[in-house]
Amino acid sequence: MNDFHSLVIPPEMSVIEAMAVINAGGKRIAFVCSEGVMNATLTDGDIRRYILKNGDLNAKVASIGNDSFSYGRASDKRDHLKMLCRKLVLDCIPILEEDGRLVGVYFLDEIEKSKKTQLNVPVVIMAGGKGVRLHPYTKILPKPLIPIGDLTITEHIINSFMDYKCSNFRIIINHKKSMIKAYFADKDKIPCDIEFIEENKPLGTGGGLGLLRDKVRETFFMTNCDIMIFEDYARILERHKSTGNLLTMVCATKRFTMPYGAIEINDQGDIVTIDEKPSYSVLANTGFYVIEPEFLDFIPDNTLCHTTEVIQSCMKAGGKVGIFPVGEEQWADMGQHDEMERMQEILSKRDNQ
């Protein structure tokens, strides 16, 4: 690959900025270089492990990159580089000159890399809410049927799971439920099994999930009907299984910039520092989870509650709950008007790749 320059980052770049570069590049990796000389590789997995250790997102990437990386030479033939990738289980190999300068990157064929794992895991979609944040659209259509391009948001979500051979779906409905059921009555729209679970009254994401207590007996994905996660679902499931979590929450890094100067004062009221428009980084709950059936035992029967409340009850009882971090660019939430257009742009771009 000759066009690798967009994946080159300086060692002083922050971790959260590097995440954006890696996600934009779509190769799951960046190359840390000083004046063209390669110092380290940085993968999305490196960043994920760093975040899981509660690392500072504003720290410099120089502190977390892998400086013991494998590499090839410009004189190496493609077959040799391909063999190296397979032998070392890598998606790519940086190509260096004798002085350490990065002059290219060999990537495995996209066809080899694009084979998605067949998961065949049940999926639960929470679609019972009124979608008040999307008025006036949701005064006419229920939120699960809001179109994003040529398909409804629910169809986009279902298709994303079907890429991993997930074909068993349960959709929890309440508001305008007859319209939702009528839309999906046409089996030509979605070639998969959909079971609708109807709320008799508003139960929230937690209470609605409780209706599945006797219906799900294996690990399952759960997602809100207004979000999409652009990450390898197999990686999320693998992380969940390896930790022994009852629930794994997918969290996205979010950076906020305060539009004012932040003032710090001393005990006498004198100004000590002025930080003009400071930025803060947090991990946000995306509304996408991997859940074990035992988690459902923490949900009170026929009671309005949210998933986050049930998670807190689970943790208080000693249940293991963890996260899978993703970049802000890997999460699209159409729950608000200004995000709908962004989601459409992301989906269009991915369809054209």
Residue range 183-196: average pLDDT?
81
Task: Quote the CA–CA distance of 171 and 127 in Å, as a whole number.
Answer: 6
Task: Quote the CA–CA distance of 175 and 162 in Å, as a whole number.
Answer: 26
Residue 298 has pLDDT above 80, yes or no: yes
Residue range 284-292: average pLDDT?
97
Residue 353 has pLDDT above 80, yes or no: no
How many residues are recorded in the chain? 353
328 CB neighbour count, 10 Å cutoff: 16
Residue range 71-97: average pLDDT?
91
CB 243 within 8 A of CB 322: yes
Residue range 119-126: average pLDDT?
96
* Percent over 70 (pLDDT), the chain: 95
Domains contained in the chain, CATH given: 5-113 (3.10.580.10), 123-351 (3.90.550.10)
Confidence of residue 213 (pLDDT cuts 50, 70, 90): very high
Confidence of residue 12 (pLDDT cuts 50, 70, 90): very high
Confidence of residue 278 (pLDDT cuts 50, 70, 90): confident
Per DSSP, the chain holds a count of helices (H) and strands (E) of 11, 19
Which residue has better confidence, 321 or 256?
321
Residue range 92-112: average pLDDT?
86
Q: What is the pLDDT of residue 239?
A: 96
Q: What is the pLDDT of residue 113?
A: 52
Residue range 307-316: average pLDDT?
97
